[in-house]
Amino acid sequence: MMNIFWPAIGVGVLSAMVIGFLWYGPLFGKAWAKEVGVDLSKKPPAKEMVRSMGLMLLGAFLISYCLAHNIEAWRIVMGTFMASGKMPGMQPSHIPMGLAINSAIWTSVGYFVPVVLNQVAFEQKSWKLFFINVGYYVVTLTAMSFTMAYWVKTA
C-alpha cells in the first residue's frame, strides 16, 4: 500500500500557489501578461479572480496528489532494486534525492512540456510564453518533489 502523506501534499499545493504568485507576479508577470494579452492596468472582476484562483488551487492539488503517488511508487521500486543488489553503491540516504530529481525532471519533460509545446504548435503561443510556463512547472514540480521525497510519514 502507498504511504501517501497528506501534509506533504498540502505543502505541495501551497508551494504551487506561492511560486505561481512570484513567477507570474514580480518575476515574469509583465512578460507573461504581454504574451497572453492581459492589460495589467485593468483589475479583473472579483468573481473572475475567485474562479481563476479556485481552478488554480484545484490544478495544484491534482498535480501534488498525482506526484505524491508517482514518488511513492518509485520509492517502492528503488527499495526493491536496492534490496536485490541491482543498485550497487546506492545508500538508503540517496533515495530521496534521486526520487526528487527524477520525479521533477521526468514529470516536467513527459507531461508538461508536451502540453505547453502543443500550445506553441496549434494555438500560436510564443516561445517566450512557452519558456515562462514550462519554467513555472519545472520549479513547482521540483519544490513539490523535494517536499514529498524527504517529508514522509513515519510509522
| pLDDT tens profile 14-28 | 999 999 999 999 999
Is 28 within the bounds of a domain? yes
Give the cell for residue 154.
513515519
Is 1 within the bounds of a domain? no
Domain count within the chain? 1
Is 143 within the bounds of a domain? yes
The backbone torsions φ and ψ at residue 42, rounded to the nearest 5 degrees and listed phi first, read -100, 125
- How many Cβ atoms are within 10 Å of 155's Cβ, its own excluded? 2
The stretch 30-58 carries a mean pLDDT of 95
- How many Cβ atoms are within 10 Å of 119's Cβ, its own excluded? 14
Q: Report pLDDT digits (tens) over 48-68.
A: 999 999 999 999 999 999 999
- Least confident piece of the model among 26-35, 66-75, 110-119, 138-147: 66-75
Is 100 within the bounds of a domain? yes
User: What is residue 111's predicted lDDT score, i.e. its pLDDT?
Assistant: 95
User: What is residue 77's predicted lDDT score, i.e. its pLDDT?
Assistant: 83
Domain that includes residue 48, residue range: 6-36+44-150
Is 111 within the bounds of a domain? yes
Q: Report pLDDT digits (tens) over 92-104.
A: 788 889 889 989 9
Is 155 within the bounds of a domain? no
